[in-house]
Amino acid sequence: SQTIHQWPATLVQPVGSPLSLECTVEGTSNPNLYWYRQAAGRGLQLLFYSVGIGQISSEVPQNLSASRPQDRQFILSSKKLLLSDSGFYLCAWGTQGLAGSNEQFFGPGTRLTVL
Amino acid sequence: DQQVKQNSPSLSVQEGRISILNCDYTNSMFDYFLWYKKYPAEGPTFLISISSIKDKNEDGRFTVFLNKSAKHLSLHIVPSQPGDSAVYFCAASEVFRAAGNKLTFGGGTRVLVKP
């Protein structure tokens, strides 16, 4: 069966510090990978998605970047965090080419607080 | 511009009764719809989905109805249980048409099931 891992689970960082959040998927090959952010009391905002190694698409202009160095690894980064980067970050995976369906499956999330 | 809207931010229901969650969308190109359940500090879990070629899909206590002409879908939970207390998100996508099989999420509805 497929599993998705995210770490760390929680993170408190000062403004201006760098960020690296990691997501890995097991039990599937060539997945689509996604990074979402949920701000307090809000819905899920898609930040980045990737359809393959080294292929990153950004959905919204922001202070963050993403990379996919391996097929089942997705990393969210920032060189200098802003207060507005605080939120709950979720990684998700989905299958490609599965006719007629489009489910995504989410990791446990990382709670980031920027002080 | 919110393409997927959940106009009721919260819903309170008695245990054993029906919970009805509503979702409206504006993009006529959406052809696949999903519902997710989310507990605090956890990732969303997939509940049920429906393709635009159907108007109803049922899985146990969960039934999703789709009215394409009204661009409206709803999730019925019968009977409601205290463990159903969570935030529910609807999501929509354009299968095959949108690169990366992206999902667009609504803002969520918080459900409280009272014992």
pLDDT tens, A56-71?
999 887 889 999 999 9
Q: Which pLDDT does position B17 carry in this prediction? A: 97
Write out chain B residues lying below 8 Å of A101, CB-based: 32, 49, 51, 95
Q: How is residue B25 written in tokens? A: 């969308």
DSSP label of A76? E
Report the Cα–Cα distance between both ends of chain B, in Å, rounded.
Answer: 38
Count the residues in chain A: 115
CB-count burial class (<10 Å; 0-12, 13-18, 19+) for A60: exposed
Q: Does residue B1 have a pLDDT over 90?
A: no
pLDDT at A96 exceeding the cut of 70: no
* Lowest-pLDDT range of A5-19, A25-39, B16-30, B98-112: B98-112
User: Averaged over B12-25, what is the pLDDT?
Assistant: 97
Chain B residues with beta carbon closer than 8 angstroms to that of A104? 46, 101, 103
SS3 A84: helix
Task: Kindly determine whether residue B44 and residue A94, on different chains, have CB atoms separated by under 8 Å.
Answer: no
User: Could you tell me the two tokens for B7?
Assistant: 């106009």
Least CB-CB distance to A108: which of B34, B43, B46? Answer: B43
The distance of B58 to chain A (nearest Cα, Å) reads 16
Side by side, which strands form the sheet with A73-78?
A3-7, A19-26, A73-78, A65-70
A79 min Cα distance to partner chain B (Å): 25
The tokens describing B59, both together, are 């899985």
Question: Which residues 6+ apart lie within 8 Å of B14 measured at CB?
Answer: B80, B113, B114
As a whole number of angstroms, the distance between CA B94 and CA B111 comes to 27
Q: Residue B84, SS3?
A: helix
Length of chain B: 115
Q: Quick check: B79 and B18 in contact, CB under 8 A?
A: yes
More confident residue, B1 or B58: B58
How confident is the model over A2-53, as pLDDT tens digits? 899 999 999 999 999 999 999 999 999 889 999 999 987 778 999 999 999 9
pLDDT band at residue A98 under the 50/70/90 scheme: low
The DSSP code for B32 is E
The reported pLDDT for the residue numbered A46 is: 92
Q: Is the confidence at residue B90, as pLDDT, over 90?
A: yes
Give the Cα separation of B98 and B110 in Å (integer). 29
CA distance B49 to chain A (A): 8
- Using the predicted structure, report yes or no on whether residue B10 has a pLDDT greater than 80: yes
Secondary structure letter of residue A99 according to DSSP: T
